[in-house]
A and B are shown apart, each in its own frame.
Chain A
């Protein structure tokens, strides 16, 4: 079955206020796609963690928000990209409680648990790209 992207928007993540903006847009797109309240809350919470990561660890970046349709199935996909230092050991970064900064170490692992699909691509000096999706 083919998946089509119905809407798409790119938001900049440069300052803390942008993290708030990204979660508000993610919420609006998720509600529009017809996701239930718990699904919306999970997606927006994961979005908040990943947008903050892009800002704090990546030195800023972008969030791509897409609404998807696959047959009768609707979903929302977010892709966060930064040109920061990248992650050397992704397995370690995905471990609950592990942090390279001052956070709680739940951002990446928590975002994965809150999403139906999760993908991370990163290497030292190559920046970081994280994709999450949640379906109705």
Chain B
């Protein structure tokens, strides 16, 4: 578990707070050398375009820092609304709950070895 960061969002965030979370989390990934980030949004009652962009940003930034992000616990009504709003969160990995999210992160941690093989082939 030490290789992963677990973030649980429990309040209705205003925009600046969401930006702060994005910055803090990116700093934490770099400081700890975490391989994975699990973001639990089960307490979020809405995901609007701003929070959606924050989730996409965290996912992209963590990838650049050699970490994988998995978003877990999205409520069904939030998922329905998100897609109708026009957000599909491309490139963001999701899982139904924390347990499945952890399993997904553990799986992806095995992947880098095969990536190295690919690189040698080139």
Contacts and interface: CB of A to CB of B under 8 A. Distances in A.
B85 A110 contact: yes
A88 interface: no
Given A20-B12, A52-B15, A109-B86, A103 B46 contact: no
A22 to B, nearest CB: 11
Contact of A37 (B15, B53, B77, B87): B77
Contact of A45 (B12, B16, B85): B85
Interface string B76-115: 0110110011110000000000000000000000000000
A111 B80 CA distance: 14
Contact of B53 (A19, A104, A113): A104
Contacts of A16: 14-16
Q: How large is the interface on B (under 10, 10 to 19, 20 to 34, 35 or more residues)?
A: 20 to 34
Interface string B39-78: 0000001111110110000000000000000000001011
Given A16-B15, A20-B12, A38 B77 contact: yes
13 contacts: A20-B12, A23-B46, A37-B77, A38-B81, A40-B77, A44-B46, A45-B85, A104-B53, A104-B87, A106-B49, A110-B84, A113-B86, A114-B85
Given A37-B77, A110-B85, 17 more contacts: A17-B14, A24-B12, A38-B77, A41-B81, A45-B85, A48-B48, A52-B48, A52-B50, A104-B49, A104-B53, A106-B87, A109-B86, A110-B49, A113-B84, A113-B85, A114-B84, A114-B85
